[in-house]
C-alpha cells in the first residue's frame, strides 16, 4: 500500500464577495480533487486543538499523528532543525521575520505594520540584511541565521521559551506599538532588538534600492514563536513505513527531520503562488519509485495568498495544485500496480477577510483504491460540512489512513 498526503496550506476559506460569495475552493476549477472526492470518504477535521494558536506547526504535527498538546514546542525550533542549526539545551529559537513597517517619522512604536513578508523579499537580499543585523546586534548570547525570503531564525541563549509575542501577519494595518514586546513583562531585550534593528535596516542600501524599484523595504525585524529544542518519535518506528516530506517551508521540513523522515528539496519551490508545482509532483513520484511508502506534500501558496489578501492568486494556487500535483501523482499511483490511499486537506483555514489563520474545522477527503466510497460531487468547505464524518482530533487521521497494517 502506498500513501499520499497533499496539504494545500490555508486553502479553506469563507465566502468572498469578489468571487460571487463563493470561497476560493468553490471558485477554483479543480477536476481532480472533485473527481476523487466523489469516490472518497469526505468530512471535516479539526487539526488545531481548542485553546491552541492555529499555526502551521500545530496543524501539521497533528496531521502527521503527533499530538500538538504533547509535541508542539513552537515553530521556530522546527525551522532551526530544518536549517541545520545545532541547538544547545539552553538555546531558544525565535522566528524573526523581516517585515515592512511604515516610515512616517516619530517613534518606532507609532509605525504601522504594512507587510509581514516585505513583498516576499528575495533570500539573497534578506541575507545581506541579516548580515547587517548580526554585525551590530549579534553577541555571545544571540545570533540570527538566514532562512528563506522573509523567514529567519534567531538563536538566543537562556531567553524565554514562552514569551507571548504577536504574530506579524495578525496585525496588518495596525499600529505596532500596541503589539510590541513590553519592558514590564520581560520583553525589554526583545523590544530593544527590534527597535535597533529598525534603525539599522530602514536606510540600508538594499532597502533604498527596493524603494527605487517600487518594492516595499524590509525595514524591521519582528520576533515571534519562541521554543526549545524539539524531539519527535520516529515516524517509521511509529507507522512501519518509510516516509518523505516535500515542502518549500523550513517549518515543515523541520518536522520531517525531527521525525526521521526523508526531506526533499525541490528547485524553484518558493512558498508562494509561483512555486514549482510540477517539480513537487515529480519529487513525490520519485520518492514512491525509490521505495518510500508514505509521501507528504505541503504547498504553502494558498496560505501566503490568504495572508496577502490576494483573491485571484489564491484561486490560481488551488487550481495549480489540482492540475500539476494531484493529477500527476494520482495518475502515477493508479498505474503503479499497487493499492494506494490519498488524503487531501488544508492544515487550517486562512480566510482572505481576516488575512490570518483561523481555528475552524477543515474539509478533507480520503480516497482508497481498494474500496471506493460515495462522496459529494465537489470538494468544498460546505460539501464537507454536509457529510456525516466529523473528526475532532486531527492527530487520529493517520490511524484511519494507515493503521498498523504495515507493522
- Is the pLDDT score of 37 beyond 70? yes
The C-alpha cell that represents 203 in the structure block: 536606510
pLDDT on residue 86: 86
User: What span, in angstroms and rounded, lies between the C-alpha atoms of 179 and 174?
Assistant: 9
Read off the DSSP letter of residue 166. P
pLDDT on residue 82: 85
Model confidence over 73-94: pLDDT tens digits?
Answer: 778 888 898 898 989 989 999 9
Burial of residue 265 (number of CB atoms within 10 Å: 0-12, 13-18, 19+)? exposed
pLDDT on residue 404: 53
Mean pLDDT value across the chain: 95
Mean pLDDT on 258-282: 94
pLDDT on residue 405: 47
Half-sphere exposure of 115 (CA within 13 A, CB side): 18
CB-based contacts of 252, cutoff 8 Å, min separation 6: 56, 60, 82, 245, 298
Domain-wise residue ranges, the chain: 2-70+232-401, 91-227
User: What span, in angstroms and rounded, lies between the C-alpha atoms of 329 and 335?
Assistant: 10
Give the Å distances, CA to CA, from 192 to 164, 201, 281: 16, 14, 44
Mean pLDDT on 280-303: 98
User: What span, in angstroms and rounded, lies between the C-alpha atoms of 275 and 284?
Assistant: 15
SS (H, E, C) 273-320: CCCCHHHHHHHHHHHHHCCCCEEEEEECHHHHHHHHCCHHHHHHHHHH
Model confidence over 148-197: pLDDT tens digits?
Answer: 899 999 999 999 999 999 999 999 999 999 999 998 889 999 999 999 99
Half-sphere exposure of 250 (CA within 13 A, CB side): 23
Task: CATH number for 2-70+232-401: choose from 3.60.130.10, 3.40.720.10, 3.30.310.50, 2.30.29.30.
Answer: 3.40.720.10
- Is the pLDDT score of 114 beyond 90? yes
CB-based contacts of 198, cutoff 8 Å, min separation 6: 101, 108, 111, 219, 220, 221
Mean pLDDT on 392-404: 92
DSSP code string of 11-34: -----BGGGTSB-HHHHS--HHHH
- Is the pLDDT score of 258 beyond 60? yes
Using a pLDDT cut of 90, give the percent of the chain over it.
Answer: 87
The C-alpha cell that represents 220 in the structure block: 524591521
Model confidence over 337-356: pLDDT tens digits?
Answer: 999 999 999 999 999 999 99
SS (H, E, C) 207-266: HHHHHHCCCCCCCEEEEEEEECCCCCCCHHHHHCCCEEEECCCHHHHHHHHHCCCEEECC
pTM (two decimals): 0.81
Amino acid at each position: 500500500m502506498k500513501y499520499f498526503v497533499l496539504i494545500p496550506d490555508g486553502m479553506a476559506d469563507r465566502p468572498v464577495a469578489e468571487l460571487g460569495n463563493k470561497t476560493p475552493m468553490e471558485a477554483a476549477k479543480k477536476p481532480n480533487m472533485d473527481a476523487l472526492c466523489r469516490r472518497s470518504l469526505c468530512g471535516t477535521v479539526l487539526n488545531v486543538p481548542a485553546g491552541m494558536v492555529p499555526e502551521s506547526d500545530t496543524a501539521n504535527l497533528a496531521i502527521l499523528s503527533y499530538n500538538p498538546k504533547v509535541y508542539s514546542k513552537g515553530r521556530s525550533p522546527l525551522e532551526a532543525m530544518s536549517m541545520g542549526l545545532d541547538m544547545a539545551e539552553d538555546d531558544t529559537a525565535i522566528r524573526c521575520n523581516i517585515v515592512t513597517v511604515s516610515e512616517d517619522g516619530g517613534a518606532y512604536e507609532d509605525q504601522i505594520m504594512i507587510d509581514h513578508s516585505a513583498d516576499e523579499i528575495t533570500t539573497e537580499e534578506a541575507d545581506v540584511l541579516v548580515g547587517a543585523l548580526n554585525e551590530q546586534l549579534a553577541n555571545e548570547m544571540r545570533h540570527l541565521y538566514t532562512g528563506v525570503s522573509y523567514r529567519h531564525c534567531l538563536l538566543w541563549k537562556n531567553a524565554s521559551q514562552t514569551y507571548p509575542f504577536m504574530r506579524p501577519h495578525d496585525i496588518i494595518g495596525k499600529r505596532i506599538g500596541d503589539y510590541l514586546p513590553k519592558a514590564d513583562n520581560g520583553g525589554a531585550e526583545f523590544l530593544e532588538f527590534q527597535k535597533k534593528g529598525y534603525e539599522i535596516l530602514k536606510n540600508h542600501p538594499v532597502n533604498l534600492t527596493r524603494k527605487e524599484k517600487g518594492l516595499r523595504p524590509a525595514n524591521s525585524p519582528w520576533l515571534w514563536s519562541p521554543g526549545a529544542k524539539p524531539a519527535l518519535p520516529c515516524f517509521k518506528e511509529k507507522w512501519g513505513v518509510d516516509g518523505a516530506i516535500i515542502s518549500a517551508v523550513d517549518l515543515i521540513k523541520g518536522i520531517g527531520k525531527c521525525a526521521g523522515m526523508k526531506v526533499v528539496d525541490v528547485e524553484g519551490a518558493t512558498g508562494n503562488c509561483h512555486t514549482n508545482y510540477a517539480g513537487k509532483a515529480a519529487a513525490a513520484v520519485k520518492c514512491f519509485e525509490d521505495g518510500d511508502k508514505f509521501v507528504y506534500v505541503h504547498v504553502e501558496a494558498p496560505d501566503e495568498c490568504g495572508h496577502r489578501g490576494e483573491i485571484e492568486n489564491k484561486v490560481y494556487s488551488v487550481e495549480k495544485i489540482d492540475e500539476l500535483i494531484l493529477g500527476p501523482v494520482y495518475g502515477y499511483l493508479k498505474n503503479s500496480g499497487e493499492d494506494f490511499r490519498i488524503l487531501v486537506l488544508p492544515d487550517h483555514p486562512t480566510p482572505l477577510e481576516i488575512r490570518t489563520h483561523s481555528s475552524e474545522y477543515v474539509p478533507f477527503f480520503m480516497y482508497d483504491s481498494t474500496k471506493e466510497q460515495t462522496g459529494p460531487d465537489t470538494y468544498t468547505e460546505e460539501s464537507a460540512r454536509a457529510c456525516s464524518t466529523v473528526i475532532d482530533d486531527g492527530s487520529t487521521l493517520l490511524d484511519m489512513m494507515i493503521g498498523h497494517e504495515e507493522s
